[in-house]
Structure 1
């Protein structure tokens, strides 16, 4: 049973508890306590209450409502922002197309919804010590919630830099006068929280507790924090702890790993939890091709498609197997597991057709279909229910990240790279049965760095990791200052007049803009600054 398969009426009541306090916003979280809801004064009585409140910390919202660094749609948005694709309605595109302002609702939602989650965690931590219960269970609960809070602070610091570090529930007056904490202090806080909490978390979980934190999860989040600060040796040491725990595996089937049937996989360290008909999400409605009843809202760019190697392990620029007139042949199998390609992909018995001269609802040039590609990852071939009521979990951290990050950290720390190390890390990822790409043998640091970065790009596409990667690599400006393209429309671009194409015959799509010194950070929401003059805006906004 999934951890969040709990009556929503309970969590709705618990929601009133967290709305008691304040954070850094004067939004609806400061509403008066409803008279028909429980309050802190009447709720915190026994271990059962504590367990419900613990679960409420994970109540990030179902359906359309959640816009946090935890929900499927908004995690996928991060990769669209980072140059993997766009949306017909342009919501995530507006973050990296040069038009971002402090009033933009998308980044404002990430901020406000994430702080609401932190308020929930703070409220739990403020009250849990008052409950008389088993001390071992209580200690584990506290470590779990501290880890969850640290996860959210990791994202706030990544995208905003200096942020208010709030660790207890505040009054309205306190909340509207807080200042931004220097980002290095936030990193130090998060590191300490994760190191301490990991020691009190279980190494493994029973299926009935799927979705809660483990020691490996805490260390994986800590690894991200350390990698972001270029603390390479420390990061390598932390990732080695996860590897040595011998808990996690690489699944043989890459495609089905993202189906509901695989949500108990030992490849998954952390996933946001959903239950069909109870606590569901709507990502399939956005993703499915229109021929399959979806909206085909998100369109991958060809710049992502180009990253996938040929089956000989060489890039498309180097491989003799690459044919510009047939660019989708002889490619890394993960390409078609990740991106649907005209005439080559199919889903639930229907061939994906985006040929602009066809009568397909997914044809290039229609309102939603403006690159000619469709996202294939997350299309669940075993699901036959309502696309707006899906219960499959969304993976947030997978074991391949641990292996690839360990290799990168060892390399950047200056350690000797051996074939044995390559075989235990990147080649395990590339060698899963359904992928079976050639083993990496390169040990030259400059060449290997490009290989590792490409491997992370194709392995984790649309899972929300790439924005973090290009920020810490310092490559965001290079990757986002460009004209993006879509599907190949013609092998004779000079004489093609149906729509704009580049010199190789690929559809010309959107352009992105990245301004160094500004675009590395998002703007503090204008509404927050208007309420609290102590919040100084990021440069350029």
Structure 2
């Protein structure tokens, strides 16, 4: 049974109060019902506002958006803001910049309203403290998003009035990050472990999530001593919860395996009341009711998968056979098999040069795949995962943080600190590859040794393939400062292009990433109209 906390809540609440010109102010306020003291009469009513904060923290749409901003996907459909950003055409008036800014501050406003009023409720003190810690986690999560994308931003830990919202100055990114670390450290000592929650409360934020997310924040800013400190608490201890790798890589995202031992944080969904459907824009076009393909995996991502024996793939080898098994568990490609939600299995044919190929999946079909690849990750063929028959209303919890990520963070931190050895390798990279199904060869599983730089390349590539399509790649290439390289290369698709008379890879337009501008987003023009003290990031 899914926890009641995460059931659908009627969205009669409007968080965005519009100023003249359609601008959104910083002190966006929940409706009067949530600030009126007559509302705060029970723990259940308090939980309903906390539920809204959970919804504002994260959603699948943001994860798919983040993946589209990386070199793992080619945006070949339409011309929305993500594609505008990818093409280097964004400016301070780009709507996505203002939407993310407003959404984050709206969520922060919700947590401030909750924290300012929860003491009015006559309730068990331990429950109050736990709920407050959950709200504080959500607030820290949202401030991380803000400072990650925009750098220095307005920072406050209680409600501000309209006059302050119009005159407040940004706080430095370093100060905000330091506060996030301190806040999450404190929260981790308050929240229960996942095993201490009752079954009806599964899905709530845990102390393990606070530790793991603190590691993610530290990783994002290359604070490797802190990454080591935080991940060590989960890799080498069970004090904050016991986590391990789920045996089946592909099925850890399936409905039947929700709340498995690898999941640290996921977004809760339930049949009928709350569902998501973004995956329908990334799977094979021949599946029922797919209307268009938003973005497709790139050849660059395909090329990053090793051979099953641990060797690197090259042009002398078959493009798909005997590869890292995670490739076929993550991506649908030519000659893959896929099962529809009504239990029909078919073979995918993307070859546009096959005169008998009338498949909707083929390269070149309008609204179909541009690269020859589709998502498999997040697609569960079990009908129970879908709320309404052939529709794309998915009710699976959406995984956002898992133990494999912790192992990869730990390995990267240890290597960056010059401490990588066979023991660390065996508890991180080796177990990930064993779970994936690599051959039992020294090249695949044994510690390779080598320089710190050589190990860095191995660990970074392992991170790319293990977490492919999960939204983390754009954060990685930004913190590694490789975005200026990989996002300025031509996008490539599968090797089916005969336009030159010879078989070649499809090539698409080159992305555009300005290293002197694009590591931060523009402060939205709408916000600068409200408050000129916000300033502007370089290049905008």
TM-score normalized by structure 2? 0.89
What secondary structure is seen at the aligned counterpart in 2 of 1:58?
helix
Q: Distance in 1 between matches of 2:18 and 2:198?
A: 33
| Shift in Å, 1:5 | 6.4
The answer as to whether partners of 1:84 and 1:462 remain within 8 angstroms in 2 is yes
Map of 1:160 onto structure 2: 150
The answer as to whether partners of 1:211 and 1:273 remain within 8 angstroms in 2 is yes
| Shift in Å, 1:7 | 5.4
Map of 1:207 onto structure 2: 199
Matched, 1:407 2:400: no
Map of 2:316 onto structure 1: 323
What secondary structure is seen at the aligned counterpart in 2 of 1:396?
strand
Map of 1:71 onto structure 2: 59
Q: Distance in 1 between matches of 2:87 and 2:18?
A: 36
The answer as to whether partners of 2:324 and 2:436 remain within 8 angstroms in 1 is no
Which one of 135, 138, 158 corresponds to residue 145 of structure 1?
Answer: 135
The superposition leaves residues 338-395 of structure 1 with CA deviations (integer Å, 9 ceiling, x where unpaired) of 1111123423312222222421112111232221211111111213534332111111
What secondary structure is seen at the aligned counterpart in 2 of 1:83?
coil
Map of 1:50 onto structure 2: 46
Map of 1:260 onto structure 2: 255
The superposition leaves residues 426-466 of structure 1 with CA deviations (integer Å, 9 ceiling, x where unpaired) of 11111116556721412321111111000010011111111
1:56–1:540 CA distance, 2 compared to 1 (3 A): same
Which one of 98, 105, 125 corresponds to residue 115 of structure 2?
Answer: 125
Map of 1:66 onto structure 2: none
Q: Distance in 2 between matches of 1:493 and 1:431?
A: 41
What secondary structure is seen at the aligned counterpart in 1 of 2:286?
helix
Matched, 1:228 2:220: yes
Q: Distance in 1 between matches of 2:363 and 2:123?
A: 60
The superposition leaves residues 464-489 of structure 1 with CA deviations (integer Å, 9 ceiling, x where unpaired) of 11111111111111111110111110
Q: Distance in 2 between matches of 1:129 and 1:473?
A: 43
Q: Distance in 2 between matches of 1:70 and 1:32?
A: 19
The answer as to whether partners of 1:4 and 1:279 remain within 8 angstroms in 2 is no
Matched, 1:506 2:505: yes
Map of 2:335 onto structure 1: 343
Q: How do 1:171-190 residues align onto structure 2 when only pairs under 5 Å count?
A: 171-190=161-180
Which one of 400, 403, 407 corresponds to residue 396 of structure 1?
Answer: 400
Map of 1:286 onto structure 2: 281
Q: Which runs of 5+ in 1 are unaligned?
A: 61-68, 497-503
Q: How do 1:382-531 residues align onto structure 2 when only pairs under 5 Å count?
A: 382-383=382-383, 385-415=389-419, 417-432=420-435, 434=437, 438-444=444-450, 445-489=452-496, 494-496=500-502, 505-531=504-530
1:28–1:180 CA distance, 2 compared to 1 (3 A): closer
Q: Distance in 2 between matches of 1:513 and 1:242?
A: 38
1:38–1:146 CA distance, 2 compared to 1 (3 A): closer
* Structure 1 vs Structure 2 CA RMSD: 2.5
Which one of 244, 249, 254 corresponds to residue 249 of structure 1?
Answer: 244
The answer as to whether partners of 1:486 and 1:507 remain within 8 angstroms in 2 is yes
The farther-off stretch of 450-459 and 228-237 is 228-237
Q: Distance in 2 between matches of 1:90 and 1:210?
A: 39
What secondary structure is seen at the aligned counterpart in 1 of 2:491?
strand
What secondary structure is seen at the aligned counterpart in 2 of 1:274?
coil
The answer as to whether partners of 1:203 and 1:214 remain within 8 angstroms in 2 is yes
| Shift in Å, 1:187 | 0.5
| Shift in Å, 1:139 | 1.1
Map of 1:375 onto structure 2: 375
The farther-off stretch of 214-223 and 358-367 is 358-367
The superposition leaves residues 483-503 of structure 1 with CA deviations (integer Å, 9 ceiling, x where unpaired) of 01111105x77524xxxxxxx
Q: Distance in 1 between matches of 2:92 and 2:328?
A: 38
What secondary structure is seen at the aligned counterpart in 1 of 2:479?
helix
| Shift in Å, 1:31 | 8.3
The superposition leaves residues 173-194 of structure 1 with CA deviations (integer Å, 9 ceiling, x where unpaired) of 3222222111011101111110
Map of 1:89 onto structure 2: 78
The answer as to whether partners of 1:140 and 1:200 remain within 8 angstroms in 2 is yes
Matched, 1:114 2:114: no
Q: Which runs of 5+ in 2 are unaligned?
A: none
Q: Distance in 2 between matches of 1:46 and 1:21?
A: 31
What secondary structure is seen at the aligned counterpart in 2 of 1:136?
helix
The superposition leaves residues 230-267 of structure 1 with CA deviations (integer Å, 9 ceiling, x where unpaired) of 22122111101112116111111111112222221110
The farther-off stretch of 81-90 and 133-142 is 81-90
| Shift in Å, 1:221 | 1.1
The answer as to whether partners of 1:271 and 1:394 remain within 8 angstroms in 2 is yes
- Pairs aligned (count): 513
| Shift in Å, 1:29 | 8.8
The answer as to whether partners of 1:2 and 1:275 remain within 8 angstroms in 2 is yes
Which one of 293, 298, 305 corresponds to residue 295 of structure 2?
Answer: 298
The answer as to whether partners of 1:211 and 1:272 remain within 8 angstroms in 2 is yes
Q: Distance in 1 between matches of 2:6 and 2:70?
A: 35
What secondary structure is seen at the aligned counterpart in 2 of 1:332?
coil
Q: Distance in 1 between matches of 2:162 and 2:373?
A: 48
Map of 1:105 onto structure 2: 95
The answer as to whether partners of 2:299 and 2:494 remain within 8 angstroms in 1 is yes
